[in-house]
Amino acid sequence: MTNEPKAPQDSTMKALIIYDDFASVMKANSSLQSSAAYPNVNVQWSIRPWRVDMLKFPPTAEEALMDAIDAHLIVFAGRSAHSFPVWLQDWLEHWVKCRQIEGAALAVIDAGNSETPLSPQPDLTQFARRHGLNVIFDDRGALNDGSPHSAGSLQQPQIPKSPIPVHKSNTKSYDGYRNWGINE
């Protein structure tokens, strides 16, 4: 038996971005891709964007739910985390019941340009606590309430626990522009 080093395996984590506008989805995508560039973070992101208002419609909401079932991270990009309508809460409740990744997490990335940081709706934080989910906030929306679910930063990425082994990959995955709202 030889002790040859094992070749790195392709390891992918899936993120579903729920966004309001093109600028916010692009910022979220960029933040996720940048988080994989840290020396101690060996992850390749598979990113699936969904425009938040499309989740109001049952057929589209069901399609997004099937897309999110194996997501490691649900990202709220832009103002979608600041407005937490009942239909979005219902969608998240369905996701929690059928998700396949035990250590999945939620993230909030604000694409705003204002000087005043926006606070995420308490509903999102309460939802996360109720279901034992971690919440990662970018620097503009960080909360300091002492809860392990509210601290975090995309500047110092916190990768959710996953059964997938994480290894460095030099290849980049490319997802099409489906549901990005470019031609909608």
pLDDT in tens, 24-61: 999 999 989 888 777 776 788 999 999 999 999 999 99
State whether the Cα torsion 82-151-145-101 is positive or negative: positive
Domain annotation covers residue 51: yes
Domain annotation covers residue 129: yes
6: confidence class by pLDDT, cuts 50, 70, 90: very low
- Mean pLDDT, rounded, for 58-78: 96
Domain annotation covers residue 97: yes
- Quote the pLDDT of residue 169: 35
SS3 of 164-178: CCCCCCCCCCCCCCC
Domain annotation covers residue 25: yes
Question: Cα–Cα–Cα angle for 75, 76, 77, nearest 5°?
Answer: 105
DSSP H helical segments within the chain, as ranges? Answer: 22-35, 58-68, 86-98, 122-130
CATH number of the domain at 97, please. 3.40.50.360
Query: Higher-confidence residue: 113 or 121?
Result: 121
Contact at 8 Å (CB) between 137 and 120? Answer: yes
- Residue of 9, 12, 45 lying closest to 30 (CA atoms): 45
- Quote the pLDDT of residue 123: 80
Q: How far apart are CA 65 and CA 8, in angstroms?
A: 31
Question: Is pTM beyond 0.75 here?
Answer: no
Q: How many domains does the chain have?
A: 1
Domain annotation covers residue 137: yes
Contact at 8 Å (CB) between 99 and 71? Answer: yes
Least confident of 63-67, 122-126, 174-178: 174-178
Domain annotation covers residue 158: no
Domain annotation covers residue 104: yes
Domain annotation covers residue 90: yes
- Quote the pLDDT of residue 142: 41
